[in-house]
Every structure is written in C-alpha cells, then in structure tokens.
Amino acid sequence: MSENVYIAGIGVISAIGSNIAETLQALENHRAGMGAITTLDTIHRERLPVAEVKFNNEILAKLTGLPATVSRTALLSMMAAQEAWEDAGVNELTGLRTGFISANTVGGMDKTEDFFSGFLENPQNGGRLRDVVHHECGSVTELVADRLGIKHLVTTVSTACSSSANSIFFGARLIKHNKLDVVIAGGADAITKFTINGFNTLQILDEQPCTPFDEHRKGLNLGEGAGYIVLVSEKLAKKLPKDCYCRLSGYSNANDAHHQTASSPDGKGSYLAMKNALKQTGLQPSDIDYINLHGTGTANNDISEGIAIQRLFDPHYPKMSSTKSFTGHTLGASGGIEAVFAALAIKHGIIYPNLRLTTKMEALPFTPEKFFLKNQQVRHVLSNSFGFGGNCSSLIFSTA
C-alpha cells in the first residue's frame, strides 16, 4: 500500500475566475463573484443574487472543444479538469492506470429544463430530445472522461454538498491500494432553475451577498463552477517534472442522519468527520494551520459547524474562513473548488478572508479571518464539506 498521495495538478473555474491565476487574483483583492442572475429565465432574476461563471455556454464550448449542446455542468467540468490535467504534466507518461472520479448534483438538468419548456408549448413537436440525453449525473462525467482519454476507471459521486470531497478521498484510496496511479478528482455543478426554486422553498437564500459566520447571517447564495485536483502515487510523484503542491494526508466521512436538509444542532457529523480525519493523519488539532469552513451562511449550518469546531479545537483555534463568501455555494463542486484553495494556501503560504463579516457570532468563541494574509506558515489545511442528509466529509492537506 502506498503511504502518501500527492496533489500534482489543480484546475478551477467559478464566478471569481476561469483559471487558477484569475482566481488567486480575485481572492487576494477581496473580489466576490455574486451578482444578478443573467443565464436563467427565472422569476427570481431581480431578487436573488447568485455567483455565476461569467462565460455563456457558447464561449465555454469554444474553450473546451465540447459542443454547446451538452449541459453547462459538463462544460464547466471540462474547463477545470483540463487545466488540472495539463498542470500535473502526467499526460506525456504512458502506461499509467488513470481514473476520473467526478461529482455533481444536477447533471444535465439545465438542458432538461430547456426541453421541458419547449415540450409544454408543443407536446407533439416541442423540445429537442438531445437536451435530455445527458440528463443523469454520470453522463457529465463520461463526456469529460472521453474527451480527456481516461478509460481505466470512470465513476460519479453524488452525495449533495460533500460530493467532491468524497470523490477526492475515494480517488486517494484507489491509489493507496494500488488500483490506480493517477486520478483526476473533484466536481462540477451549474445553476439551474430547479436548484434555485428548491433552495428558495427551504427559505435559506440570502437576498444580499451572503455573510457566513456572521451573527446576522441570513442564508446562502448559490454558485456554480468546477474544481479538480490530480492525485498521484508517491512513486509517480518522483517522476514528475515539477514539485507537487501538497499531500492529501487525511480524510473521513461521517453521517449523523439527523435530517434531510438540516445539520444536527450539536454538530455531531461535522465533529466526527474532522476528528476521524485528524486521527488518520496522526496530527493533533493544534497542528492545523487553517480551516476552510463549509460555512454556507445559513443559521443552522454555521452554528452546527461552529459547535463542532469548538468541541474539537478549544481553546486553541487555527485561522479559518469560508471561501463561499467569494464563490457562493457551488453545491457538488464546492469540495473540489475548496480543495484547490487548500493546495494554493499551502503552496503560497496564504490565508483567505471571510468577506463581509462584521459581527462575531455570539455563541462561538472564535472569529474567522477578515483579510487576505500572505507569508503565513501553512503546513496543514482542514477542508470541510457537509451535505444534505447529514453526509459530512473532511479532508486534510499537508506539505509535501
């Protein structure tokens, strides 16, 4: 069994940038991606801000080489996965056992919505069947894997907001057990009318840019995008032309089974995920230098996660923040995007700000960071991704 799994490449697209360089610049300049809805024909267009990727499908198609007729989720996935694959520099090596483990929650729902509206107007001839061919989540993964030429193992994870984190540590386990040499892991999701309507029904959307971990937080902003990391074995890492970003040193999944959409009030699932990830690494809580909070900005989620952090880290708290204050909540893509942020934090020694935080939560003894910090010692990063149904996952990234 391989002891270490390394991150050799990273790729990202979100509302704050279409690649790594643009994203880093936005993070450093405190530039969030929330704005008015532009891509969807929805009754919420004038009321609810979202964090949209700034390219339409036609531009994404030209950039990726995929046809514009495929789902937006697939286009976003291709953008980030291609950047990560090229960044890793493993595509010139032959004989590798490769895998693509990708997460999403909406699949091709955006195209299905297009079909359905046309069908309602004309049940006999309305709607294009090509819009429903790639509806299911696995089809998104297969489209991108085919384009990248990955065939040894291709699979899809869909566990709500923990989806990407689960895809990442599944990939790591396959490498550790000598089933694969290299895995592109992460996820993608696009904003759809179904998603906006669903979260609006739950009454957890903020009508202003979200304020995670603020005492007066009112909800989340939906976002879209994709984030992928390229995981490689220790043996392969030594053959690559450049140094790896970091290691994936620990991971864990726990499920408190408390509620379909709400986190447990005592943060049990969050606590178990973080505790068990730390146990796997052999690290102490005091060894963690930064926590990328799940931090959606809802009343329930932030207090639940906060209580779990207090239970595990009290009285010494690492620096922490929610980067969803930049990207919005990208759902199935969030764990992948935030894994990229974790790798960048270690490589560049940086800590991200929790934007728009003005009032400390009275129930918690800690306060997230408010400013972008450089020249920090960042050896170990804990990244949290907690999903519906109590599915909680934590990843720990460490220096290579």
- Strand 391-398 and strand 246-255: the pairing is antiparallel
pLDDT at position 116 is 79
Tell whether the model's pLDDT for residue 251 goes beyond 70: yes
Question: In whole angstroms, how far apart are CA 163 and each of 185, 227, 333, 387?
Answer: 10, 12, 7, 8
- What confidence category does residue 161 fall into, taking pLDDT thresholds of 50, 70 and 90? very high
135 labelled catalytic: no
HEC letters along 8-40:
EEEEEEECCECCHHHHHHHHHCCCCCCECCCCC
Tell whether the model's pLDDT for residue 1 goes beyond 70: no
- What confidence category does residue 260 fall into, taking pLDDT thresholds of 50, 70 and 90? low
329 labelled catalytic: yes
pLDDT at position 20 is 98
pLDDT digits (tens, 9 = 90+) for 19-38: 999 999 999 999 999 999 99
pLDDT at position 350 is 98
Task: Tell me what percent of the residues of the chain surpass a pLDDT of 70.
Answer: 97
What mean pLDDT, rounded, does the chain reach?
94
Mean pLDDT of 351-361: 98
pLDDT digits (tens, 9 = 90+) for 103-156: 999 999 999 888 877 777 787 777 777 778 888 899 999 999 999 999 899 999
HEC letters along the chain:
CCCCEEEEEEEEEECCECCHHHHHHHHHCCCCCCECCCCCCCCCCCCCCEECCCCCHHHHHHHHCCCCCCCHHHHHHHHHHHHHHHHHCCCCCCCCCEEEEEECCCCCHHHHHHHHHHHHHCCCCCCCCHHHHCCCHHHHHHHHHHHHCCCCEEEEECECECHHHHHHHHHHHHHHCCCCCEEEEEEEECCCHHHHHHHHHCCCECCCCCCCCECCCCCECEECEEEEEEEEEHHHHCCCCCCCCEEEEEEEEEECCCCCCCCCCCCHHHHHHHHHHHHHHCCCHHHCCEEECCCCCCHHHHHHHHHHHHHHHCCCCCEEECCHHHHCECHHHHHHHHHHHHHHHHHHCCECCCCCCCCECCCCCCCCCCCCECCCCCCEEEEEEECHHHEEEEEEEECC
Mean pLDDT of 349-357: 98
**In CATH terms, are 5-237 and 246-398 the same topology?**
yes
Selecting among 210, 244, 246, 294, the annotated active-site residue is 294
pLDDT at position 66 is 96
Tell whether the model's pLDDT for residue 210 goes beyond 90: yes
pLDDT digits (tens, 9 = 90+) for 301-325: 999 999 999 999 999 999 999 999 9
Nearest-angstrom CA–CA distance, 60 and 76: 7
- What confidence category does residue 259 fall into, taking pLDDT thresholds of 50, 70 and 90? low
> What are the sequence ranges of the domains in the chain?
5-237, 246-398
pTM assigned to the model = 0.96
Which residue from 245, 238, 173, 229 is spatially nearest to 1, judged by alpha carbons? 173
Mean pLDDT of 356-380: 98
Selecting among 134, 244, 329, 392, the annotated active-site residue is 329
137 labelled catalytic: no
pLDDT at position 93 is 66
CATH number for the segment(s) 246-398: 3.40.47.10
- What confidence category does residue 390 fall into, taking pLDDT thresholds of 50, 70 and 90? confident
Task: Tell me what percent of the residues of the chain surpass a pLDDT of 90.
Answer: 84
Selecting among 161, 210, 246, 392, the annotated active-site residue is 161
Mean pLDDT of 173-201: 96
CATH number for the segment(s) 5-237: 3.40.47.10
Greater pLDDT, 264 or 4: 4
Contacts of 123 (CB under 8 A, 6+ apart): none
Neighbours of 294 (CB within 10 A): 31
Question: Are the CB atoms for 384 and 250 separated by under 8 Å?
Answer: no
Question: Are the CB atoms for 102 and 156 separated by under 8 Å?
Answer: yes
pLDDT at position 123 is 76
